[in-house]
Structure 1
Amino acid sequence: MSDQRIVSWHANPSKPRYRPPAGAVDAHCHVFGPAAQFPFSAKAKYQPEDAGPDMLFALRDALGFDRNVIVQASCHGTDNAATLDAIARSNGRARGVAVVDPMISHDELHALHAGGMRGIRFNFLKRLVDDAPKDKFLEVAQRLPAGWHVVIYFEADILDELRGFMDAIPVPLVIDHMGRPDVTQGPDGADMRAFRGLLDSRPDIWFKATCPDRLDPAGDPWNAFADAVAPLVADYQDRVLWGTDWPHPNMQDAIPDDGHLVDMIPRIAPTAELQHKLLVANPMRLYWAD
């Protein structure tokens, strides 16, 4: 891991033109540290500057959101203390997704539940993790507390390789960033067709219509992303989530304006009904059902 601390978030994001509906949830974001209190993992592939809960909640309010789903960042490994701390400081307005050692005990899983976690994340991006043992991941997925789900992060070129593994997971799945399709192929491109095939294979597979900044190489205003993703949101509107991805891990060379990310919402969900599902009904059903 490099000793250089990186900044991947916009210092002064613009105020979005779009105003989210009451109760809107940013359903994919992270916290980094503070490192003095919550050190980064020795295996971390990047070492960011601190981006703690105070910064996250200030951004939440500035963008017009009410709640957050905080996903454990890979730089913290399987020590979920920073994410749990942020949830505890949210006054009930945050839930989380953990990253765990597959050997985690029953009691430890239920302690995470008590702390506000409602899922675990499996990361298959080789540039971020050294080992992704499918057999051990499957075993822990079979021991999750009631109401939990599994979040899976992968790139489009290994979707076929992961299909058997995903088919065997006995709880709902949430796919990060739609499995990183090539959005320049358009809504009917090979990657999007393959992803639709995955969604059609099970009624309990959800996805995050997120990260135009990662997926659209042309950059802001991310027109290819809007064109490719809007039909997907319309066709699977009861199983889709949205989030900022703040503080945008590893995006230090192409830092997005969070206000512009929010302004993508009406481009992929053009009606008030779709926006309410995307930002309120769906995340509340998945993360605040209990």
Structure 2
Amino acid sequence: MSDDQAGRILSWTLNPSKPAFAPPPGAVDAHCHVFGPQAQFPFSARAKYLPRDAGPEALFALRDRLGFTRNVIVQASCHGTDNAATLHAITRSNGRARGVAVVDPAIGDAELDRLHEGGMRGVRFNFLKRLVDDAPKDRFIEVSHRIARLGWHVVVYFEADILAELRPFLAAIPVPVVIDHMGRPDVSQGPDGADMRAFRALLDSRDDIWTKVTCPDRLDAKGPPYDDFVRAVRPLVEDYPDRVLWGTDWPHPNMQDAIPDDGALVDVIPRIAPTAELRRKLLIDNPMRLYWPEEM
């Protein structure tokens, strides 16, 4: 490790296992990130965490090891609204990556066009107070109207305890919405628990709300083999098969105290999507519709 990375957070395993489950050809890891390299792409002065470098070469090596074909790279909060690192990774992917940006609400249309040309297909609004200092709902709504002409969608990250508060905001977004990690429900409550019932009510409120059935490592306090996660999430995949996405969340921001094995995360997929048809929708059809619609 170089001196400039000393003391920075490592939140991913350097030797992930090879999963027993083989994703179908064309499978998309629809939620991952890149960090830096810091020497080329400095972190935001407002970053809440300072990770070690996890650039595109490492991401694409993991993609190949796990058996995926494409990536959707979500702008990491440690880079703030400077999307250069994510755009760089997309450029290095040879067409096999698209992205989700984080933008200043005052962004101009010319910059939005530049992001689109660079492979961005959505914008993310983060409501986790431990990661962001300000989340101005009114200005986010303005941005969501301005991206409609590009065919983008909005990705929203929040925790279950503020879902009721966010319902009017989510209802006002005029483009498709993707909810990160199902709004972080308490999966120990099971599929019929209060958190999952509230989340299902949100999905039922409009037919263009999607979700990422991701992060058993974050959501299942019991850890591997993530039985609580599987029990709570499998019915969601079965009941909303055309509106679910899956991703590794590599390099697992802020998971330095419980670093997951990416191979083990992939092996959860057939447990929450038990048929070949469900797995094809989850891993290929759904992410392709959102991020590579021109190829559908």
| TM class, shorter-length | over 0.9
Task: State the SS of the aligned residue for 1:214.
Answer: helix
1:87 aligns with 2:90: yes
Contact 2:244 2:282 in 1 (8 A): yes
Once the two structures are TM-superposed, the CA of residue 4 in structure 1 deviates from its matched residue by: 3.3
* Of 58, 63, 73, the match for 2:61: 58
Once the two structures are TM-superposed, the CA of residue 147 in structure 1 deviates from its matched residue by: 1.4
1:132 aligns with 2:135: yes
Once the two structures are TM-superposed, the CA of residue 187 in structure 1 deviates from its matched residue by: 0.3
* Letter in structure 2 aligned against 1:162: L
* Letter in structure 2 aligned against 1:142: H
Determine the structure 2 residue equivalent to 1:204: 208
Q: Deviations over 1:164-191 (max 9, x none)?
A: 0010000000000000000000000000
* Letter in structure 1 aligned against 2:278: L
Identity %: 78
> How far apart, in 1, do the equivalents of 2:142 and 2:285 lie?
31
> How far apart, in 2, do the equivalents of 1:142 and 1:273 lie?
34
1:161 aligns with 2:161: no
Determine the structure 1 residue equivalent to 2:14: 11
* Of 258, 261, 284, the match for 1:257: 261
Once the two structures are TM-superposed, the CA of residue 11 in structure 1 deviates from its matched residue by: 1.1
> How far apart, in 2, do the equivalents of 1:7 and 1:229 lie?
28
1:277 aligns with 2:277: no
1:25 aligns with 2:13: no
Q: Deviations over 1:232-258 (max 9, x none)?
A: 000000000000000000000000000
Determine the structure 1 residue equivalent to 2:47: 44
* Letter in structure 1 aligned against 2:164: D
* Runs of 4 or more consecutive aligned structure 1 residues displaced over 3 Å after TM superposition: none
> How far apart, in 2, do the equivalents of 1:124 and 1:4 lie?
27
> How far apart, in 2, do the equivalents of 1:206 and 1:116 lie?
20
> How far apart, in 2, do the equivalents of 1:281 and 1:194 lie?
26
Determine the structure 1 residue equivalent to 2:37: 34
Task: State the SS of the aligned residue for 1:142.
Answer: helix
1:241 aligns with 2:245: yes
Task: State the SS of the aligned residue for 2:222.
Answer: coil
> How far apart, in 2, do the equivalents of 1:223 and 1:13 lie?
20
Task: State the SS of the aligned residue for 2:146.
Answer: coil
List gaps (5 residues or longer) in structure 1: none
> How far apart, in 2, do the equivalents of 1:12 and 1:4 lie?
20
Q: Deviations over 1:148-170 (max 9, x none)?
A: 00000000000000000010000
Q: What is the TM-score when the length of structure 1 is the normalising length?
A: 0.99
> How far apart, in 2, do the equivalents of 1:224 and 1:98 lie?
32
Once the two structures are TM-superposed, the CA of residue 146 in structure 1 deviates from its matched residue by: 2.5
Once the two structures are TM-superposed, the CA of residue 30 in structure 1 deviates from its matched residue by: 0.1
Task: State the SS of the aligned residue for 2:31.
Answer: strand
* Letter in structure 2 aligned against 1:178: M
Once the two structures are TM-superposed, the CA of residue 221 in structure 1 deviates from its matched residue by: 0.8
List gaps (5 residues or longer) in structure 2: 1-5
Determine the structure 1 residue equivalent to 2:229: 225
Determine the structure 2 residue equivalent to 1:268: 272
> How far apart, in 2, do the equivalents of 1:11 and 1:96 lie?
24
Once the two structures are TM-superposed, the CA of residue 220 in structure 1 deviates from its matched residue by: 1.0
Contact 2:181 2:214 in 1 (8 A): yes
Q: What is the TM-score when the length of structure 2 is the normalising length?
A: 0.97
Q: Deviations over 1:27-52 (max 9, x none)?
A: 00000000000000000000000000
Q: Deviations over 1:1-22 (max 9, x none)?
A: xx93000001100000000001
Instruction: After TM superposition, list the pairs within 5 Å mapping 1:85-164 onto structure 2.
Output: 85-144=88-147, 145-164=149-168
